[in-house]
Amino acid sequence: MSVRMFEKLFTFLFDFLAVNVAFFTAYWIRFGSNLFAVDAQFQYTPFSYIEPSLIVSAAWLVLFFFTGLYRDWYKESRLDEFFVVARTVFIGSFFLFLVTSAPQIIEFAQTGDIRVLATPTKLATLLTYFACMLFFASVNRFAMHTLLTFLFKKGIATHKILIIGANAAGEKLLREINSFPQLGYSVCGFIDDDGKKTGTQCGGYPVLGTYSDIEEVVKKQKIEGVIIGNVTTSPTEISKILDYCGDLRITIYMVPSLMDVITGHLKTHQIFGVPLMVLLQDHIPGWEAQVKRIMDVAVSLCVLVLGAPLCLLLIVIIRKTSSGPAIYPQVRVGRNGRHYTMYKFRSMYEDAEQKTGPQWATDNDPRITPVGRFIRKTRLDEIPQFYNVLRGEMSLVGPRPERPHFVEQLKKEIPWYVRRIKMKPGITGWAQVKHKYDASIEDVKQKVMFDLYYFENMSLSLDLKILLRTFLVVLTGKGAH
């Protein structure tokens, strides 16, 4: 288990404890402290509400998860975290009020008497619980924040990072980072494109290699992030650095003085005294990303279960009309350049590329079978990919995955193509509903522009819009050969 996963699990367990302490504290204040009038027939028993407390705790933890309270808050201020906690507690308390007041809401709808919605007793109980939840949840988060800061200052559980640029600006950045240990960063060394500097020292830290050595250094040193210092003002140079980082699962930062190089493609990540810009960052909020994943799993299960009879029929038809397996596996490039095996119903003749090698499909492509032409037009050939979605290798919505052969070619020909492989590939995407199948490099270039638009505007609402358009595409057959 990684340090970050352990930290999140630790936070989760302490949240669970805080939520239960809040429940029983509110219960004691309201019914056992004699601060409020209580029905004489009511008997206060401290542990009689363990079961409802556990149920409510589970609901709170799910809400914390969806509101982003399990992201890396050590990079933010305590005040920012408090505001998110307060907002989450308010939302949860409001939903709790709706659930516990369902009978009264029905009565209000029938009688119009607003007094039935919040009796003094219920209002006092809910306000007490809200105050306890806000207090204990906030104190717990402040304590966790303080503990992590203490550990970081001791050099424990820190993120290993590299600074790109072994120069005066890099040394200044190094001093700033070391001045704020609460950032949780541990500098391992420098990278510089001047090979003569390799093996030397910069600010007391080793220069570990050039740009081409980034991948090797990251894997060897278990680096989790790189910071691009003031090494250049050339967009080509920045793109070159990103190409070497593109397939690595690391966070890429850049100092804000370089923001004008790629204006509009950065997300501010200003922390303590070291303002940085995050490159290639997902723009979708954390809670929406979680909902997106839940939607992926739910839809995939429904399609694979309910569509099983159709899949069996297609398997029989494909096998009867052409030789070869009905389901065709193919290696594709997924998120962060990771290779995985994607599955499709076979739409081409067996060994169609044995002589020609990898090619994009063309109009009236002789490699495509008659049945394959139909299942491509109706998108039925994509059904097995819901298994990839279920495994987490793909999403319902995202850029279409390319083969490694084409990715290497496209990374050289299309600026910022690396952004495309920072996203999880999808069964459908903005490019698929706006453009036709890839038939040439020019088609791919056009579709990359649509994919980058999706990257910059990723949201649940855009996903739903794309899914609706995909449904219309399937009905009309638009966009397919």
- Mean pLDDT to the nearest integer, 429-456: 74
CA distance 449 to 466: 16
pLDDT digits (tens, 9 = 90+) for 388-425: 999 999 999 999 888 888 887 777 777 667 777 778 99
Q: What phi and psi values does residue 279 have, to the nearest 5 degrees? A: -95, 150
**Is residue 88 located within the same domain as residue 194?**
no
Indicate the pTM of the whole model: 0.59
How many CB atoms within 10 Å of residue 394? Answer: 26
Give the closest residue to 368 by CA, choosing from 440, 432, 474, 439.
439
What would the pLDDT profile of 330-369 be if each residue is shown by its tens digit?
999 988 778 999 999 998 887 766 655 666 666 667 788 8
- Is 108 among the domain residues? yes
Better pLDDT: 309 or 414? 309
Lowest mean pLDDT among 111-125, 170-184, 216-230: 111-125
Do 291 and 214 lie in a common domain?
Answer: no
Of 24-38, 93-107, 268-282, 452-466, the range with the highest mean pLDDT is 452-466
- Same domain? For 418 and 313 the reply is yes
Instruction: Establish if 393 belongs to a structural domain.
Output: yes
Domain-embedded: residue 205: yes
Q: Domain ends where: 114, 132, 153?
A: 153
- Residues 302, 438 share a domain: yes
Q: Which 8-state DSSP code applies to residue 196?
A: G
**Cα 243 from Cα 440, distance rounded (Å):** 23
Token readout for 394 is: 């793909």
Predicted pLDDT of residue 373 = 86
In the structure, what pLDDT confidence band is assigned to residue 316 with cuts at 50, 70 and 90? very high
Structure tokens at 96: 């709790």
Write the DSSP assignment of 298-364 as a string of letters: HHHHHHHHHTHHHHHHHHHHHHHHSSS-SEEEEEEE-GGG-EEEEEEE--B-TTTTTTT-S----TT
What residues contact 464, with CB distance under 8 A and at least 6 apart? none
| Degrees to nearest 5, angle at CA 402 with 396 and 407 | 140
**In this structure, is residue 481 part of a structural domain?**
no
Alpha carbon distances (Å) from 398 to 360, 402, 411: 20, 12, 18
CA dist 421 and 404 (Å) reads: 11
**Domain end among 114, 129, 153:** 153
Q: Which residues contact 310 (CB under 8 A, 6 or more apart)?
A: 380, 383
For residue 233, being part of any structural domain is answered with: yes
- H or E stretch covering 50: helix 50-66
C-alpha triplet 17, 18, 21: angle, nearest 5°: 85
**Six-digit token string for 91:** 């939302």
**C-alpha–C-alpha distance, residues 95 and 290, integer Å:** 20
Considering the domain architecture, whether residues 327 and 413 belong to the same structural domain is answered as yes
Beta-carbon neighbour count of residue 341 at 10 Å?
A: 11
202: domain CATH number?
A: 3.40.50.720
My answer on whether 120 and 202 are in the same domain is: no
From 265, 268, 246, select the one nearest 255 (Cα to Cα).
268
Q: Out of 140-144, 333-337, 348-352, 432-436, which region has the weakest mean confidence (pLDDT)?
A: 432-436
- Residue 51 has phi, psi (to 5 degrees) of -60, -50
Please state which of the ranges 119-123, 167-171, 239-243 shows the lowest mean pLDDT.
119-123
Cβ burial of 108 (10 Å; 0-12, 13-18, 19+) is: middle
Q: Which two tokens stand for residue 282?
A: 């997902």
Considering the domain architecture, whether residues 205 and 293 belong to the same structural domain is answered as no
User: pLDDT > 70: what percent of the chain?
Assistant: 77
The reply to whether 378 and 472 lie within a common domain is yes
**376 in any annotated domain:** yes
At which residue do the structure tokens 């063309």 appear? 362
How many domains does one find in the chain?
3
Question: How much of the chain is in helix, strand and coil states, percent to nearest 5?
Answer: 55, 15, 30
292 and 412 in a single domain? The answer is: yes
40/22 Cα distance (integer angstroms): 25
Confidence (pLDDT) at 262? 47
Residue range of the domain that includes 59: 3-153
DSSP state, residue 193: S
- Domain final position from 279, 307, 334: 279
CA atoms of 95 and 89, how far apart (whole Å): 10
Is 314 inside any structural domain?
Answer: yes
* Angstrom distance (rounded) from CA 217 to CA 476: 51
Task: Identify whether residues 468 and 352 lie together within a single domain.
Answer: yes
Q: Are residues 371 and 271 in the same domain?
A: no
What is the predicted pLDDT for the residue at 263?
47
Domain assignment present for residue 235? The answer is: yes
| Same-domain check for residues 97 and 193 | no
